[in-house]
Amino acid sequence: MSNDLEILNNLADLAEDVCKKRGWKRDWLHSGCHLHLEASEFIEALRGKDGDPADEAGDILFVLLATVRFAGLDLKKIISMAQEKWVKLPSKEGEIEP
């Protein structure tokens, strides 16, 4: 995971630099709007409406990482918390266990 974490940290650094150089705001208000927009574009691309889903997913990742970096959050902690949630998800009736 350390290599994957390094990649995410490098991407977060890049996103932060781009936002700073272009004067893009990454506070909760602006980031929330951008994240919502990119998620909507991703769903539309998945539906075959417009755009490439992989490209739109990349936009979501960019906005998310820029926001995480702006907020001073630790990516390692975020990943750890997500993994804990996934493990604790209750299984539904009829669901095949991994």
Q: Is the pLDDT of residue 6 over 80?
A: yes
pLDDT reported for residue 63:
95
The one-letter amino acid code at 79 reads: I
Structure tokens at 60: 């979501």
Q: Is the pLDDT of residue 90 over 90?
A: no
Say how many C-beta atoms besides its own lie within 10 A of residue 56's C-beta.
Answer: 20
Longest CA span, the chain? 51
Which of 62, 64, 75, 74 is closest to 28 using CA atoms? 64
Task: Check residues 1 and 28 and name the one with the higher pLDDT.
Answer: 28
pLDDT reported for residue 98:
55
Which of 45, 67, 66, 62 is closest to 54 using CA atoms? 45
pLDDT reported for residue 62:
95
Residue ranges of the domains in the chain? 2-81
- The tens digit of pLDDT for each residue in 65-89 reads 999 999 999 999 999 999 998 888 8
DSSP 2-15: HHHHHHHHHHHHHH
The pTM score is 0.82
Across the range 40-55, mean pLDDT stands at: 95
CATH of 2-81, one of 1.10.287, 1.20.1290, 1.10.10, 1.10.8: 1.10.287
